Structure 1
């Protein structure tokens, strides 16, 4: 019997939760049953080397490069090659983006401008899966021939500040619109009640054995004493600016510890300035990206997720695998992963509340041990989530 052909589409394989989840999924995939192609708009990212050999990596659409380069280079290309379509697309994009829009909406407004110069894929597929919101979904709808199209939303749709009116015509052409937590699915159904029947839950997969194995790797940083670790992109969503305030409160009370942040992003200059202003250079430490964050998690006293909002945090699931006591702020989807005082602590979204709860955990070794023991007894998300995806590929219809 012919193996079905499945296409996954995502922007790149940078150090984000969706990207990490996709790589984990591909490591568990049944390649005897399905052939897999992967299309990246930019073939870059921390996880690129972790893509299994069984996955065929397609060439990135060349036209995307015109929207990252200076417009003078686009003009030069147009005059040299008598190819003016990318230049007109850039001019349309400039006009569409007049005004002040969130970055997410800017991406939504960009697609109609650039779509005419993005070629469709020549090869048909049995299923096309956009593993991230916005452009990957628009691409599989407009540029891929497949009877089954599945899109993923990897965050709280309302907090993304997306314009539902721009997404609705694309979502209406998907057989399945999946999201990664109960609260995220609920928000999607509230936002798109007419599409509720095709909105489904699919948890992100993580490989417990892989995490435990990679956690044994050596690290060069000094992790003696009490340590807090957080993982996330350096941007407002993750609230590391507020975490600095929590750190300062703990230091003022005499706590001797270090708080390590693993991640990179646009807020680094602001965070560095705030760290310096509060004299926390030796305490609140921005480590940058790490291809393997698990040894840091393994050695942490506490894992903290001080976010303003999340979809379903992969980092929390990874901390759970390693049995780390977890502090998480009370964003809407927090209870999809954490039961307060059972497998972690949920706190109010303020610097004072985070500091007080971290102080409690740093002081109370018995509480830390109890949370760790509870986590050891907790079942992790397994291959049943892959079975769900296989079912959609085989049976999803409009």
Structure 2
């Protein structure tokens, strides 16, 4: 029997978050590959784990303390001991650390970019350094897996990644797990109908816009924003100033958000930037109609099956509505329209059906096909095509 190839996955930690959930979902569905590969997972930071991985995967717990230098040093030592045949990293720090740790070893490494890189890195002195590191590391990867076509375009246009070295694989949505958790008792005591949103309380999520739009919509519902972050105090002050303290709830991190989503009237996503909006598709899987901004990147691909730049104004979509970013009036109008019947029920049904295109099995297979392809000798001019043909578009 041929010796199994060793594959090393790398991520900052398994604290609660979208990238962490995606990685553990993929690993949890990877049993069909365990006979071919010896799978390892490196966690750069010693943090409490919100997600579990299968027992057959070997986990190496490092302790880099959120520092890039320590991440590189510790990961390079691990790579030296393990000598993986290929590595695949998630999140920017892990991506850069993996690039350095694998350098000079003659082994392929891949990265999975979870965010719209330009929007995520922002501006300022720190961002200049971060952008330089991304421009250095990402083009050298054997392949970059982005979460949406918008992220692909950003990496090609702004970070020097060759078009034929990057492709999009949409994040997987575990419908069975979501259905099981959605059926559990609701962990929040909420009277009456409510609109729900979820995400870190940070500027890019733009929950301030949602509070303004909710106030302008005239809806009699409550608004629930699940998540925690540095914008809490500012949002609380905004809510109080609008006299909405009794109608807008900020419950913080909710261990089972699906039980809350499943009982809502609609889902709102007011973001200025996304990589691939997990929460949007998960809400759709719970049967929620949605109102989302046409931000970079992902919402237009999910809701309208169109590139972002081709959607200029507010637009009705089967699952709800897509509106321009930072447009309070358009968001408020969309909330009113999608919340009304019979449109709400029709959009809810369309949302659930659309979410089925983002299944776990499809995404997991596409990830492993990319790893398989990376293990093949690099093509040269005139060489035959790869035995692992892959679409460059988003996984459906």
Q: Which TM-score tier does this pair reach, normalised by the shorter chain?
A: 0.7 to 0.9
CA RMSD of aligned residues (A): 2.3
Cα separation, 1, equivalents of 2:19 and 2:281: 13
The residue that corresponds to 2:85 in the other structure is 126
How far apart are residue 300 of structure 1 and its match?
Answer: 0.8
Is 1:149 paired with 2:138? no
The residue that corresponds to 1:377 in the other structure is 353
Question: Judging changes above 3 Å, is the alpha-carbon distance between structure 1 residues 314 and 276 closer, same or farther for their aligned structure 2 residues?
Answer: same
Q: State the secondary structure of the residue aligned to 2:10.
A: strand
Aligned partner (choices 142, 167, 173) of residue 200 of structure 1: 167
Alpha carbons 2:87, 2:109 under 8 Å: kept? yes
Q: Which moved more, 1:383-392 or 1:113-122?
A: 113-122
The residue that corresponds to 2:17 in the other structure is 16
Cα separation, 2, equivalents of 1:288 and 1:37: 33
Cα separation, 2, equivalents of 1:33 and 1:142: 27
Cα deviation 1:279-329 (Å, max 9, x = unaligned): 222211111112221101100100110101111100111112112100001
Cα separation, 2, equivalents of 1:336 and 1:224: 34
Alpha carbons 1:261, 1:287 under 8 Å: kept? yes
Runs of 4+ in 1 over 6 A off after TM superposition: none
Cα separation, 2, equivalents of 1:39 and 1:273: 41
Q: State the secondary structure of the residue aligned to 1:271.
A: helix
Q: State the secondary structure of the residue aligned to 1:203.
A: coil
How far apart are residue 52 of structure 1 and its match?
Answer: 2.6
Cα deviation 1:326-348 (Å, max 9, x = unaligned): 00012132211112421221013
The residue that corresponds to 1:138 in the other structure is 96
Aligned partner (choices 249, 253, 257) of residue 289 of structure 1: 253
Is 1:60 paired with 2:62? yes
Q: State the secondary structure of the residue aligned to 2:239.
A: helix
Is 1:336 paired with 2:313? no
Q: Which moved more, 1:221-230 or 1:288-297?
A: 221-230
Aligned partner (choices 339, 355, 369) of residue 332 of structure 2: 355
Cα deviation 1:64-105 (Å, max 9, x = unaligned): 24xx6xxxxxxxxxxxxxxxxxxxxxxxxxxxxxxxxxxxxx
The residue that corresponds to 1:78 in the other structure is none
Gaps of 5+ in 1: 69-109
Q: State the secondary structure of the residue aligned to 1:233.
A: coil
The residue that corresponds to 2:233 in the other structure is 269
Is 1:42 paired with 2:45? yes
Q: Which moved more, 1:215-224 or 1:350-359?
A: 215-224
How far apart are residue 176 of structure 1 and its match?
Answer: 0.7
Alpha carbons 2:139, 2:161 under 8 Å: kept? no
How far apart are residue 32 of structure 1 and its match?
Answer: 3.2
Cα separation, 2, equivalents of 1:266 and 1:213: 31
How far apart are residue 116 of structure 1 and its match?
Answer: 5.6
Equivalent residues, number: 347
The residue that corresponds to 1:2 in the other structure is 3
Cα separation, 1, equivalents of 2:288 and 2:61: 40
Question: Judging changes above 3 Å, is the alpha-carbon distance between structure 1 residues 239 and 193 closer, same or farther for their aligned structure 2 residues?
Answer: same
Q: How do 1:143-222 and structure 2 match up within 5 A?
A: 143-144=101-102, 147-160=107-120, 161=122, 162-163=127-128, 164-193=131-160, 195-222=162-189
Cα deviation 1:184-242 (Å, max 9, x = unaligned): 11121112456222111111112111111111111242344221111101100100112
Alpha carbons 2:135, 2:160 under 8 Å: kept? no
Aligned partner (choices 367, 372, 395) of residue 343 of structure 2: 367
TM-score, structure 1 normalization: 0.81
Alpha carbons 2:117, 2:155 under 8 Å: kept? yes
Gaps of 5+ in 2: 305-315, 379-396
Alpha carbons 1:302, 1:324 under 8 Å: kept? yes
Cα separation, 2, equivalents of 1:228 and 1:146: 52
Q: State the secondary structure of the residue aligned to 1:395.
A: helix
TM-score, structure 2 normalization: 0.81
Q: Which moved more, 1:231-240 or 1:383-392?
A: 383-392
